[in-house]
Amino acid sequence: MIKVLFVCLGNICRSPMAEAVLRKLLTNEGLEDKVIVDSAGIGHWHIGKVPHAGTRNILDTNQIAYDGMTARQVENSDWDRFDYIIAMDQQNMADLNGIREKNDVEIKLFMDFVNEESAKDVPDPYFTGNFDYVYELIYTGCKNLLEEIKQTKLKEEL
Ligand code: 4NP
């Protein structure tokens, strides 16, 4: 099993959107049993809450399920459980590096999977309100991440 964790600040806008989109792409390709997807937040403010209305709205529009998803905070056990820990922006990455335990997992930036040279952050729609643009970035990034997983970690099996 390959395990992917997306991390943002509140775990109600960007990282749950990425979780739902990647899971949908995996299901489309019949790979849902090979890759586990989860998301978490740096902050504790929204623990237990469903995704933000803007995220639910764009997922509904694109017929992507998010049933049962609720916010949680990054926890110590995450460091040993995931093959990929992917931060939605540079501040999330800095925060993760500040709390990380000693381990080998490499934290990546989500925008590394989106071919936009200049941008390093998925802008936070909690503040910008632009869920449509964030969805575009997340869809592209998840497609590219899945390709990478298929060509590296799942190479022997496919
Ligand atoms: P997210 O957006 O990190 O994409 O889930 C945010 C959600 C909530 C807050 C900040 C960002 N907040 O400050 O409560």
- pLDDT, one tens digit for every residue, the chain (158 residues): 999 999 999 999 999 999 999 999 999 999 999 999 999 999 999 999 999 999 999 999 999 999 999 999 999 999 999 999 999 999 999 999 999 988 889 899 999 999 888 899 999 999 999 999 999 999 999 999 999 999 999 998 88
pLDDT of residue 115: 85
pLDDT of residue 104: 86
Residue 10 beta carbon below 6 angstroms from any ligand 1 atom: yes
For residue 12, give the ligand 1 atom closest to its CA: 5
Helices (H), the chain: 14-28, 53-61, 78-81, 90-99, 125-128, 131-151
CA of 101 to the centre of ligand 1 (A): 24
Q: Which two tokens stand for residue 13?
A: 């806008």
Spatial distance between the Cα atoms of 2 and 35, rounded to a whole number of angstroms: 5
Spatial distance between the Cα atoms of 146 and 157, rounded to a whole number of angstroms: 14
CA of 43 to the centre of ligand 1 (A): 8
pLDDT of residue 157: 86
Cite the active site residues. 8, 14, 124
CA of 11 to the centre of ligand 1 (A): 7
Residue 7 beta carbon below 6 angstroms from any ligand 1 atom: no
Judge whether 55 and 131 are in contact, CB under 8 Å: yes
